[in-house]
Chain A
Amino acid sequence: EDQVTQSPEALRLQEGESSSLNCSYTVSGLRGLFWYRQDPGKGPEFLFTLYSAGEEKEKERLKATLTKKESFLHITAPKPEDSATYLCAVQVLTNFGNEKLTFGTGTRLTIIP
């Protein structure tokens, strides 16, 4: 069974204090690893998709990396507006073309001004 574990569950940082969020996964065959940002009461907002070990993608203060067992979301010099829950999900394509995402429980990030 596909499993995704995110850590830490919650993280409080001072504005400007860089850190990393972790997503470890166990799947039978990874097609893609997705990162989303979710604000309270809203739907997930797409950030990145990573497809192979060694791949990196950046967007503003965020950088996502991928290894064969885990992914990191690095946040550099965060601002209060970066406060949100960050969700990691894996996609495994099945024989029937099912493209379901299996999500972790998320990391709730709070940036203190």
Chain B
Amino acid sequence: DAGVTQSPTHLIKTRGQHVTLRCSPISGHKSVSWYQQVLGQGPQFIFQYYEKEERGRGNFPDRFSARQFPNYSSELNVNALLLGDSALYLCASTLRGSGNTIYFGEGSWLTVV
């Protein structure tokens, strides 16, 4: 079975540009979360979506937005990119509910220059 898949794997953007990152959860998983991991730090929670509804938002500016589609895949959008947005963006999926394992994808490496 395919795990959590993310695209693109690497990308370089210029300050002020917009980026869209995509995630397909494990088949049957309806909950998708996004995390940002800066080099040398642990992942930080950005969003959680379940059944296409936002269920949680971390301490990130409004430049960050996300959505979940009917097939449970998800997009993370970041507008007006800053140098500090350079990071590994991780998508995680779970069956939902405490007690369910949370699986991560390999991430999308974003470099803002």
Contacts and interface: CB of A to CB of B under 8 A. Distances in A.
Interface of A: 4, 31-32, 34, 36, 41-46, 49, 51, 87, 89, 91, 93-94, 96-106
Contacts of A94: 56
Interface in B70-113: 88, 90, 92, 94, 96-99, 101-107, 109
Interface of B: 4, 31, 33, 35, 40-45, 48, 50, 55-56, 58, 88, 90, 92, 94, 96-99, 101-107, 109
B50 A97 contact: yes
A40 B102 CA distance: 20
A49 B94 CA distance: 13
Nearest to B98: A31
B32 to A, nearest CB: 11
B111 to A, nearest CB: 13
A93 B44 contact: no
B44 to A, nearest CB: 7
A87 B44 CA distance: 12
Given A46-B102, A98-B48, A100-B56, A89 B42 contact: yes
A101 B103 CA distance: 12
